[in-house]
Structure 1
Amino acid sequence: MYRNPGFLFLSDIISHYWVQMNALEQSYQESLDFIYSFVDFSMKRHVDDAHHFFKLDRMHKFAELLGNPQDNYPSIHITGTKGKGSVASLCASALQAAGYKVGLYTSPHLQEFTERIQINGEEIDKAGLVALVDRLRPLTQQVPEITTFELTTALGFLYFAEQQVDIAVIEVGLGGRLDATNIITPMVSVITPVSYDHRAVLGNTLTEIAYEKGGIIKPGKPVVLSPQQPEAEKELLRIAAEREAPITQVEQAYTYTEVAHDLDGQEMIIARQMTNNANPTLSLAAEPLHLHLPLLGKHQVQNAATAFAALDIFTQHGVALSSQSVTQGFAHVSWPARFEILRKEPPVVIDSAHNGDSMLRLRQTLDEYFPDRAFILIFGASADKELDDMFREILPRVESVITTQSLHPRAADPQELAKRIAPYGILVQAINPAEAALSKALELAGSDKGIIVAGSIFIAAAIRFIWKAIPEKQIY
């Protein structure tokens, strides 16, 4: 067949496109291999004696080589044991609704590495990530022992600066005091509820853990505290007073309550209270404000109040923001795998609960939304987690358990998990891979029982991915 050399056939265009896409995908994977070639504590089962790695001098040096990009924009810095990702996403969504160009840095990711670095809800594209990694590659040789998370954080800071964001919302990776993100000087710091987690690194008492989390409090800079357990609160207040950081305790500064909920979201009302150091007339909630949240559970009402308090402080420091923007932003926030309902009837729910406190909140939310429903638990966890803390909270709420495993290197063996659960006197079986575990759970649930997936963000992400790939006719 004659082919005009000046005319491209559709097959030529498609072929050229796939060659380009394959080349980009290869470059992207090579970039990820480079990022993960450094010390990566998220992949280690136990930290052991590697605490010497947790320090900020490498991050300061690397940022200096990049021209300290983190200083080019105002920021909100968020830590805590649970809820920090939800608070970060709420803040970013509200600021975006106000018309700002907003960077959001979070970890870990659910499916794709690029989720960690976003601007206005759009992930950094793979080509952009490859280009940044290629530029940073030679600089890493000047910073011995740089870690994967430090390199990733630097990528995020640089990307936000070069894309000229108006504001960045930065979530701490681990702890706070020695976390790679803690080289920023934020406009406001936020500490969500502190509970027991990562004890090998952060300490065995709430005072020790709160000391690490409180490390993000900067001298003279405002800090917002979610409601805390007394031991943690005492330490956080001590640090704030020592650094003369103005403090807003959410439960004292605001009244907030859930007024209605269903499987599509919940309604809440928030209002600023009169306190010694604040004029409520200057607040976004000078009058009671009605908010809709697509995020479910009473703990998300608390997270929303915490995010609101941080935004309120932003407005008092020159950032133009209206209550309408906050209302709009909160109503459209997206934060997957946090009591995310994949199917309403019979329910299939995934949650990233991975410690005792978050399992308690998960159990309470199940009781709130599905009070009379029997559930089958698909459970997977990291090998270094406090399993009994989780089991004590969630096992009384479920009828049976299927243990399984994500592909993450820290994932515990399903057979070992089943052995740990057996003494609790509940029916348990180990099934791997996760696809088979979900299939068995669907079979056991039938048309009446619910399925809840929990134990780690990695197993929640795995089941979410598998679920999305199942043809609709096979699951409804």
Structure 2
Amino acid sequence: MSPFTYQQALDYLYSFVDYSLTRQLRYSPEKFDLGRMKAFLELLGNPHLKYPTVHVAGTKGKGSTAAMIASILQAAGYKVGFYSSPHLEDFVERIQINQVPLSHETLAELVDEVRPFVAQIERLTTFEITTAVAFLAFLRAKVDVAVIEVGLGGRLDATNLVQPEVSVITSISYDHTKVLGESLGQIAREKAGIIKPHTPVVVAPQRQEALAVIREVAKERSAPIIQVGDDYRYRLAVHSLDGQAFWVWKAADQPKVDEWIENGAEHDEPLRFEMPLLGAHQVDNAAMAFAVADILRSKGWEIGDAAIAKGFQHVKWPGRFEVLCREPYLVVDSAHNQDSALKLRMALEDYFPGKKVVLIFGASEDKDIEGILRELLPKVKGVIATQSFHPRAIAPEVLVQMVHRFGYPARVVVPVEEALSLAMNQVGDDSLVLATGSLFIAAAVRQTWREHFRV
């Protein structure tokens, strides 16, 4: 028998229900059942319990924060597994070891290996099988630690069988409301479902409604809560298109930092780090990553300040306010709800003051598209509506109608290659090209630019 190929592995995985591709999705125990995932992992020997983990949930910033944590742990000398979703261009990006995706051959071998066990459990999903493959890959690679990003929600997510050293909840905002709940409190309760008894949980600055729920769940589970912005404080130092620097310090060090603020004494200056990721929101995420590293070292992990600095310097998280080109400026971002679009607009005003935007836009039909447009349209001089190869992608003709209702010009251009070509011809010294609306649009534009425009 010929070996299982990478394409066969992908075809097999996608032959199961993939809720990321489903138009009508309801978050119900029949669809999201940890019981079947638990049984599946038991058949595989519970690989997820054989190495330490860090578990990261949230609406925005969870991928960036998880990538920073993984980079810091790697810089500290640990062999690090990193599981995230969705991928940008290649499925194996979801499962990385020391920032290197699994080879196509390794993924194919692991998928082939789990097939007999999949056959024993009814109604497994694409994400559940992929998650199990990731857990198995990390075990086989003998990782020292794995950083695991939640797929959707938290409470019923397939990743929520890990027993982490630290749980992490990044910024919570409105997304997947039909699935997770219509209020911030309901969404927060799903995210807080990752909190484990007696396990510290690091929490990003949150709106009060979300924070109250997280605190309630943490108290019920006797989980120490570490509040970034309070227990750990931070401030942007400087930023440019080449990166940014920031300070971070513990609340207990505030008197010393006060002296530095007022008198500039060098010996009182808090820790300062640099990173290539752009946008003030990434400083929020970096403060989260620092807090996680600090908690791990309080538990005996060997993570020095120099390793943290190196981890921040070498973190990679493409497709998020990424400047692909400077002549003309071409930016891609994965903003897909109103809150992330607001952060994107603030970043545009910060890094490109006064410049108008030629907007390449596409989105999934289940997103708050009007909310996204409401934030971005005041910056644009024109919208090019396009469509990625994704089952939930909304028709660009519908996008044009929505943009017109706001009183802005828009036109349909597909495929993405033609949309990018038109945008690059329309941009001038007073403007930039921005591609956003979904990770799939960001990925398609990145790939098109690399193949057809990069000099």
Identity among equivalent pairs (%): 50
Q: For residue 311 of structure 1, what is the aligned residue in structure 2?
A: 293
1:214 and 2:230 aligned: no
1:289 and 2:267 aligned: no
Tell which deviates more after alignment, 177-186 or 343-352: 343-352
1:373 and 2:355 aligned: yes
Report deviation, 1:51.
Answer: 5.8
Distance of 1:341 and 1:471 partners within structure 2: 14
Report deviation, 1:63.
Answer: 0.4
Report deviation, 1:286.
Answer: 9.8
Distance of 2:49 and 2:398 partners within structure 1: 47
Q: For residue 421 of structure 1, what is the aligned residue in structure 2?
A: 403
| Change over 3 Å in CA distance of 1:174–1:286 after alignment to 2 | farther
Distance of 1:50 and 1:187 partners within structure 2: 28
Report deviation, 1:140.
Answer: 0.6
Report deviation, 1:54.
Answer: 1.2
Q: For residue 335 of structure 2, what is the aligned residue in structure 1?
A: 353
SS of the aligned residue for 1:181 comes to coil
Q: For residue 104 of structure 1, what is the aligned residue in structure 2?
A: 82
For structure 1, the 5+ residue unaligned runs are: 1-22, 277-284
Distance of 2:170 and 2:41 partners within structure 1: 27
Aligned equivalent of 2:12, options 34, 37, 42 = 34
Query: Contact (CA 8 Å) 1:272, 1:287: kept in 2 or not?
Result: no
Q: For residue 440 of structure 2, what is the aligned residue in structure 1?
A: 458
Deviations 1:206-263 (CA, angstroms, capped at 9, x unpaired): 0100000000000110000000011101111110011110010001012211111110
Q: Which amino acid aligns with 1:169?
A: V
Q: Which amino acid aligns with 1:338?
A: R
SS of the aligned residue for 1:359 comes to helix
Query: Contact (CA 8 Å) 2:360, 2:383: kept in 1 or not?
Result: yes
Deviations 1:179-217 (CA, angstroms, capped at 9, x unpaired): 000000100000000000001110000010000000000
Distance of 1:198 and 1:329 partners within structure 2: 32
| Superposition TM-score, scaled by structure 2 size | 0.95
Q: For residue 94 of structure 2, what is the aligned residue in structure 1?
A: 116
Q: Which amino acid aligns with 1:114?
A: V
Distance of 1:63 and 1:440 partners within structure 2: 49
Distance of 1:160 and 1:287 partners within structure 2: 39
Q: For residue 138 of structure 2, what is the aligned residue in structure 1?
A: 160
Map 1:144-223 onto structure 2 (within 5 A).
Answer: 144-223=122-201
Query: Contact (CA 8 Å) 1:263, 1:369: kept in 2 or not?
Result: yes
Deviations 1:86-135 (CA, angstroms, capped at 9, x unpaired): 00000000110111000000000011000000000111111111111111
Query: Contact (CA 8 Å) 1:356, 1:393: kept in 2 or not?
Result: yes
Q: Which amino acid aligns with 2:235?
A: T
| Change over 3 Å in CA distance of 1:402–1:210 after alignment to 2 | same
1:95 and 2:77 aligned: no
Distance of 2:397 and 2:232 partners within structure 1: 47
Distance of 1:275 and 1:42 partners within structure 2: 44
Q: For residue 422 of structure 2, what is the aligned residue in structure 1?
A: 440
Q: For residue 85 of structure 1, what is the aligned residue in structure 2?
A: 63
Q: Which amino acid aligns with 1:99?
A: G
Query: Contact (CA 8 Å) 1:253, 1:275: kept in 2 or not?
Result: no
Q: Which amino acid aligns with 1:156?
A: A
Distance of 2:39 and 2:430 partners within structure 1: 57
Distance of 1:162 and 1:371 partners within structure 2: 49
Q: For residue 213 of structure 2, what is the aligned residue in structure 1?
A: 235
Report deviation, 1:287.
Answer: 6.4
Q: For residue 232 of structure 2, what is the aligned residue in structure 1?
A: 254
1:301 and 2:283 aligned: yes
Query: Contact (CA 8 Å) 1:271, 1:287: kept in 2 or not?
Result: no
Q: For residue 258 of structure 2, what is the aligned residue in structure 1?
A: none
For structure 2, the 5+ residue unaligned runs are: 255-266
SS of the aligned residue for 2:160 comes to helix
Q: Which amino acid aligns with 1:229?
A: R
Query: Contact (CA 8 Å) 2:362, 2:386: kept in 1 or not?
Result: yes
Aligned equivalent of 2:302, options 299, 320, 323 = 320
Query: Contact (CA 8 Å) 1:346, 1:448: kept in 2 or not?
Result: no
Distance of 2:73 and 2:366 partners within structure 1: 37
Distance of 2:181 and 2:28 partners within structure 1: 14
Report deviation, 1:344.
Answer: 1.8
Report deviation, 1:410.
Answer: 1.1
Q: Which amino acid aligns with 2:279?
A: G
Aligned equivalent of 1:335, options 305, 312, 317 = 317
| Change over 3 Å in CA distance of 1:51–1:363 after alignment to 2 | farther
Q: For residue 22 of structure 2, what is the aligned residue in structure 1?
A: 44
Q: For residue 263 of structure 2, what is the aligned residue in structure 1?
A: none
